Chain A
Amino acid sequence: MLLPNALLLPLCAAHSTLFAAAAAVGEDPASQFIRLLTVFLLAMWVGFEVITKVPQRLHTPLTSGSNAISGITVVGALVVAGALSSGFGTLLGLLAVVLAMINVVGGFVVTHRMLEMFSPKKK
Chain B
Amino acid sequence: MSTQAWINLAYLTASMLFIMAFKLMTGPRTAVRGNYLGAAGMAIAILAACFEKPVLHSLTANGVWPLVMLGIAGVIGGGIGAIMAIKYPMTGMPQMVALLNGFGGAASTLVAGAELWNMTGNVSSPDAVVAQQSVVQLAPWTQFAIATAFTGLIGAVTFWGSLVAFAKLEELPQFKKAWTDPIRHKINLALAITTVLLIWAVCAHPSWTILYWLLVVVGSALGCTLTLPIGGADMPVVICLLNSYSGLAAAAAGFVIDNSVLVIAGSLVGASGLILTAIMCKAMNRSLVGVLFGGLGTSTSTISDDSVYAGKIKSAGAEEIAMVLEGASRVVIVPGYGLAVAQAQHAVRELANALEKRGTTVEYAIHPVAGRMPGHMNVLLAEADIPYEKLREMDDINPTFPETDVAIVVGANDVVNPAARTDPKSPIAGMPILDVDKARTVVVVKRSLSPGFAGIPNPLFAADNTLMYFADGKKAILDLTAAIEKS
User: A67 contacts which chain B residues (CB < 8 A)?
Assistant: 97, 100-101, 104, 243, 246, 269
Pick from A72, A80, A113: contact of B114, CB below 8 A: A80
Residue of B nearest to A92 (CB): B114
User: A4 contacts which chain B residues (CB < 8 A)?
Assistant: none
Q: CA–CA, A107 to B23, complex, Å?
A: 18
Q: Give, as a whole number of angstroms, the nearest-CB distance from B81 to chain A.
A: 3
Residue of B nearest to A16 (CB): B260
How many residues of A are in contact with the other chain, CB < 8 A?
95
Contacts of B72-105 to chain A: CB distance below 8 A: 73-74, 76-82, 84-86, 88, 90, 93, 96-97, 100-101, 103-104
Pick from B12, B96, B375: contact of A110, CB below 8 A: B96
Check if B305 is an interface residue, CB within 8 A of chain A.
no
The 0/1 profile, CB within 8 Å of B marked 1, for residues 85-117 of chain A is 111111011111111111111111111111111
Q: Give, as a whole number of angstroms, the nearest-CB distance from B163 to chain A.
A: 13
In the complex, the answer to whether A57 meets B378 with C-beta atoms within 8 Å is yes
Q: Report which residue of A16, A20, A63 has the largest number of chain B beta carbons within 10 angstroms of its beta carbon.
A: A63
Pick from A41, A93, A118: contact of B382, CB below 8 A: A118
User: B268 contacts which chain A residues (CB < 8 A)?
Assistant: 43-44, 46-47, 66, 69
Q: Is the interface of B mostly helix, strand, loop or mixed?
A: helix
User: A90 contacts which chain B residues (CB < 8 A)?
Assistant: 114
Q: Give, as a whole number of angstroms, the nearest-CB distance from A83 to chain B.
A: 4
The 0/1 profile, CB within 8 Å of A marked 1, for residues 368-393 of chain B is 10000111101100110101100101
Check if A21 is an interface residue, CB within 8 A of chain B.
yes
Q: Give, as a whole number of angstroms, the nearest-CB distance from B477 to chain A.
A: 20
In the complex, the answer to whether A109 meets B81 with C-beta atoms within 8 Å is yes
Given contacts A72-B45, A109-B82, contact A99 B103 (CB under 8 A): yes
Pick from A36, A73, A97: contact of B108, CB below 8 A: A73
Given contacts A85-B133, A103-B100, contact A123 B262 (CB under 8 A): no
Q: Give, as a whole number of angstroms, the nearest-CB distance from B121 to chain A.
A: 9
Q: CA–CA, A94 to B115, complex, Å?
A: 12
In the complex, the answer to whether B22 meets A50 with C-beta atoms within 8 Å is yes
Residue of B nearest to A67 (CB): B101
The 0/1 profile, CB within 8 Å of A marked 1, for residues 264-291 of chain B is 1111111111111001000000000000
In the complex, the answer to whether B100 meets A32 with C-beta atoms within 8 Å is no
How many residues of B are in contact with the other chain, CB < 8 A?
131
Pick from B104, B383, B385: contact of A100, CB below 8 A: B104
User: A54 contacts which chain B residues (CB < 8 A)?
Assistant: 25-26
Q: CA–CA, A76 to B256, complex, Å?
A: 9
A selection of 15 A-B contacts at a CB cut-off of 8 Å is A17-B8, A20-B8, A48-B275, A57-B366, A68-B39, A70-B250, A71-B107, A75-B262, A76-B257, A80-B111, A82-B54, A96-B114, A97-B70, A104-B78, A115-B31
Could you tell me which A residues sit within 8 Å of B by CB distance?
9, 12-13, 16-17, 19-21, 23-24, 29, 32-33, 36, 39-41, 43-48, 50-90, 92-120, 122-123
Could you tell me which B residues sit within 8 Å of A by CB distance?
2, 4-5, 8-9, 11-12, 15-16, 18-19, 21-23, 25-28, 31-32, 34-35, 38-39, 41-42, 45-46, 48-50, 52, 54-55, 57-59, 61-62, 66-67, 69-70, 73-74, 76-82, 84-86, 88, 90, 93, 96-97, 100-101, 103-104, 106-108, 110-111, 113-115, 117-118, 122-125, 128-129, 133, 142-143, 239-240, 243, 246-247, 249-251, 253-276, 279, 366, 368, 373-376, 378-379, 382-383, 385, 387-388, 391, 393
11 more A-B residue pairs beyond the given contacts A62-B276, A92-B111, with a C-beta to C-beta distance below 8 A: A20-B260, A21-B5, A24-B5, A43-B265, A66-B22, A74-B46, A79-B259, A82-B50, A85-B129, A86-B123, A108-B38
